[in-house]
Chains A and B, each alone.
Chain A
Amino acid sequence: MNAHLEILDAGPQCTIQDMGRPGFRRFGVSEGGAMDQVGLACGAALLGNDRRAAAIEMAATGLTVRAGADVRIALTGSPMDARISGRHIAWHASHELPAGAVLTIGAATNGVYGYLHVGGGVDSEPTLGSRSTHLRAGIGGLDGRALAAGDLVPVGEDGGGGSGLQLVQQPDDELPIRVVWSPQADLFSPETRSRIESGTFVMTGHRDRMGARVDPGSPFELAPDATRVLSTPVVLGDVQVPGDGMPVVLLADRQPTGGYPRIATVISADIARFVQIRPGTAFSMRVVSTADAVEALMVHRSRLRSLADRLRPLIRTPTASELLSENLISGAIKWDDDQP
């Protein structure tokens, strides 16, 4: 039997995820995949995995696993309290997890979605070309469901490589979430549209892999013709305004088509940052042109492609003077677009 991780305990939304399954929207299946694709890519870089490797996504709460064999692991995305046999270990880093050792991952301390990666990737059975768990469709992962105590998560063959590496991160800043107007934006009044451009939003706890409700302070005025909109294809990041006027940003496991009007769309480069906004956190949006959104996506992709160049040896217990001499900031990864 190949290596596996035995789940001893799991938060309610721990799922196996990879880059998703594009190509099936015409059959009613959205592409799904890791909510924070940057976190997914960081794990592949830390372990030298194929970028299509699957990992375990943990929403706000982690899990406890026991290694069935010696495995390499990496922890990325939202930082969570992590310990191997009681000893604290660093996030955004790779580690050895010896056979029989217990890894305990607690609540997120910043952000929402954390990722546990294994050398060789999670090796569950792919469905429609992907291992991603699509809870709504009931496919992928282990039997299309969230992980639970007693599950054995298969680990793929590890091509080898080191551990004890880190990807130094810059703390989240508070730049606006960039959006482009939706083709349906004209269904909304200029006053409502101006609330996208200048309003403040608060992330709510009404969120899952399908979408995240954001609180604009008071409900958006509904488009006069809102109920007459025919279902059209929905894209990742669409800001949909349903009957109660409270916007919902549609995410990885959304329905592929929808009949509620959409006012704007979060740009591709900012999706990973958006999904990591914690409930109760205020943020603003900034409307950019399609050309600017594409430019931002190219910058975003080039940063993802150069992740391997940004690996550093893990410093287990750095002192303040060591931190200063390492000049962490210049080695940091900056996900947000350059600001003037």
Chain B
Amino acid sequence: MVDARIEPVGDTGIIVVLGDELSIETNQRVHALDQALHDMQIDGVLEIVPALASLMVAFDPEVVDHTNLIEQVAGTLSAEPEPSGGRRWRIPAHYGGASGPDLAEVADRMGVSESTAVDEHADTNHLVMMLGFAPGLSYLGLLPERWNLPRLDTIKPMVPAGSISVAIRQSVFCATPIPTGWWTIARSPFLTFRPHAPVPFLLRPGDVLTFEPITHRELESMTQLGDGFVVRPEPIE
């Protein structure tokens, strides 16, 4: 039996807290529970919102009541987690320069060269732990321990869509322009939110990303393609 807290949140939701600390293992349990609850197709469930170490179920209390729903979710927790069905993406990104104005200081703080920092970031298997904050914005983790950088003291008013910023061993990969208090080290031409496309959100929690460093010239030519620039994922073995 998995250790978890299940409680009402507001009057039309319940939250399942699987842990109070962030870890890849806990996050993967969130994705497994997400998948299991989707598969159950519980009447009255409107929306399932997975987060870093918790998951919220929004429901219509006119169709299913709190007690009944909590019992059904608790029953799911005892099952062995299934593979989450995540996919692997290799995503081009231009590190440093105007795309990553904070790369030099990030490398300096870690006591490594910029190229070492770039290689380590690009080669990490980044798990999409959560989408949040802004449309299609993904929280990726976890980087090696030396990437446990503090957030910036000030919020940068806006970084462009596709920017990749780091702090506290995580990366955020934004799909729209956002203000951020994290260190921006790269930008990708691949925009994962396409409001009018048949599939508007390309990344899903549970997906795994690596980045492939590209030049500024490549970034510009790929960016010019707009939605025509496509990266295709592979299933995770």
Give A contacts to B, CB under 8 Å.
22-29, 127-128, 136-139, 180, 182-183, 228, 230-233, 235-238, 255-257, 265, 267-268, 290, 293-294, 296-298, 301
Contact = CB atoms under 8 A, between A and B. Distances in A.
B49 A26 contact: yes
What range describes how many residues of B lie at the interface?
Answer: 35 or more
A237 B12 CA distance: 11
Nearest to B202: A27
A26 B12 CA distance: 16
Most buried by A among B5, B34, B55, B132: B132
Given A180-B11, A293-B11, A257 B46 contact: no
B161 to A, nearest CB: 10
Question: Which of A28, A138, A231: most chain B CB closer than 10 A?
Answer: A28
A233 B136 contact: no
Interface string B1-31: 0000101111111010100111000000000
A183 B132 contact: no
Interface string B182-224: 0000000000010110001100010000000000000000000
Q: List the 10 closest pairs (A to B, CB-CB), nearest first.
A: A233-B56, A293-B11, A257-B132, A235-B10, A27-B201, A265-B10, A183-B7, A233-B49, A28-B131, A25-B49
A24 B131 CA distance: 10
A23 B46 contact: yes
22 contacts: A23-B46, A23-B47, A25-B56, A26-B50, A28-B131, A28-B132, A136-B134, A138-B176, A182-B9, A230-B20, A230-B53, A231-B139, A232-B17, A232-B54, A233-B13, A233-B49, A233-B51, A238-B10, A255-B134, A256-B49, A265-B9, A293-B11
Given A232-B15, A233-B54, A294-B65, 8 more contacts: A22-B46, A22-B47, A25-B49, A26-B131, A127-B195, A231-B139, A268-B11, A294-B11
A265 B46 CA distance: 19
A180 to B, nearest CB: 6
B20 A28 contact: no
B6 to A, nearest CB: 9
A6 to B, nearest CB: 25
A180 B132 contact: no
Interface of B: 5, 7-13, 15, 17, 20-22, 34, 46-56, 58, 61-62, 65-66, 130-137, 139, 176, 193, 195-196, 200-201, 205
B131 A27 contact: yes
B47 A28 contact: no
Most chain B Cβ neighbours within 10 Å, of A136, A137, A257, A301: A257
Contacts of A293: 10-11
Contacts of B58: 22, 25, 235
Contacts of A230: 20-22, 51-54
A290 B34 CA distance: 24
A326 B202 CA distance: 58
A255 B8 CA distance: 20
A139 B195 contact: yes
A232 B58 CA distance: 13
B51 A257 contact: yes
A319 B137 CA distance: 58
B131 A183 contact: no
Given A230-B22, A297-B11, A128 B48 contact: no
B215 to A, nearest CB: 29
A267 B57 CA distance: 17
B11 A231 contact: no
Given A27-B131, A27-B201, A28-B131, A232 B7 contact: no
Nearest to A25: B49
A214 B15 CA distance: 25
B154 to A, nearest CB: 14
